Amino acid sequence: MIVVGDEVQTAIKAQQAVVALESTIFSTLGLPSPANAEALQMCLSAVRQSGAVPALTAVLDGVIWAGVPEELYERVLNATAKVAARDLAIASSQKMASGATTVSASVLIAHQVGIDVFATGGIGGVHRESQITGDISADLDAIAQYPITVVSAGAKAFLDLPRTLEYLETQSVPVVGWRTNDFPAFYTRDSGLQISHRVEDAKGAARLHRDRKGLGQGGVLLVVPIPLEAELDSSRIDQAIEMSLAEVQLRGLAGPAVTPRVLAAVEKATEGESVAANLALAEHNASIAGQIAVELANP
């Protein structure tokens, strides 16, 4: 069962701007404490300052939330399990105590309750050596399936980015740059990969969303480069990723266990700078998502 928070429910009924947010990034599975709590407040504030209402998603005591009440934020911050789209019914039926939603789960929830825009840090994608492991994030299929505009700083930098873009093309998901034709790589503004389409402002993104939804098609991936002042050195990031992926392979880790391991390695290699970068890009994405939601609410 999906429960819509009072503020979010009121906004949806009044056809006001709403932005869905995942909760993995706000748990310690996404960011270390207390940075996770800081990220939550920054993103909530960014959405509100843009004129929209934030709808934090999570699973608490088996309840699937779209708009977690403030008094339950602490439980989201302390969630120790990830919940993807495939896990939602299980988490609900088995009364999971606290589950942090991934992109795929949040996109599904947003669609079910009538929210058109979703903001995250970076989406999952095609993992390196996927031709052997078959490891492809459910995020990609969820974006393809549900008519949601997903605002992110590209895909997580340790993924196979060329294959991720190819998979999205195969699934008919347009990848659109926010004032850029360069596909960002989370911590850096340019992965070296080009994308064909771009929008210059929230009005353009809202028009694209309406036209695609009107055709009965799925979602849009809007990629936003990390703010220039927060960008990290690509060579330093690449070295940390390569070392951590070697450890992942040695330990035989796969699926959801990979991301926390790699993020921890990058944090250590950058002496915490990656956490600050993550905060900056998440806040920036939330702000832009809010602007798009406002345009959609005021055609």
Is residue 283 pLDDT above 70, yes or no? yes
pLDDT tens-digit readout, 61-81: 999 999 999 999 999 999 999
Cβ atoms of 42 and 278 within 8 Å: the answer is: no
Q: What is the pLDDT of residue 289?
A: 99
**DSSP bridge partners of 118:** 20, 150
Phi, psi for residue 96 in degrees, rounded to 5: -55, 135
Is residue 256 pLDDT above 70, yes or no? no
Q: Where are the beta strands (DSSP E) in the chain?
A: 2-4, 18-21, 53-60, 63-66, 81-83, 98-101, 117-119, 149-152, 175-178, 182-185, 188-194, 197-199, 220-223
- φ/ψ region of 179 (left if φ > 0, alpha if ψ in -120 to 50, else beta) reads left
Gap between the Cα atoms of 290 and 68, Å rounded:
18
- State both tokens at 172: 């008919």
Domains of the chain: 2-297 (3.40.1790.10)
Active site residue 156: yes
Is residue 92 pLDDT above 70, yes or no? yes
pLDDT tens-digit readout, 189-202: 999 999 999 999 99
Q: Write down the catalytic residue from 22, 231, 283, 295.
A: 22
Q: What is the pLDDT of residue 221?
A: 98
Please give the model's pTM, rounded to 2 decimal places.
0.94
Q: How confident is residue 187, by pLDDT bands cut at 50, 70 and 90?
A: very high
Gap between the Cα atoms of 258 and 136, Å rounded:
12
pLDDT tens-digit readout, 126-184: 988 777 677 899 999 999 999 999 999 999 888 999 999 999 999 999 999 999 999 99
Q: What is the pLDDT of residue 198?
A: 98
Phi, psi for residue 185 in degrees, rounded to 5: -120, 50
Average pLDDT over residues 98-119: 98
Averaged pLDDT of the chain: 93
- State both tokens at 3: 């429960």
Gap between the Cα atoms of 23 and 101, Å rounded:
5
Cβ atoms of 53 and 8 within 8 Å: the answer is: yes
Q: Determine the length of the chain.
A: 299
Q: Give the percent of the chain with pLDDT over 70.
A: 98
Q: Write down the catalytic residue from 82, 156, 231, 267.
A: 156
Q: What is the pLDDT of residue 241?
A: 80
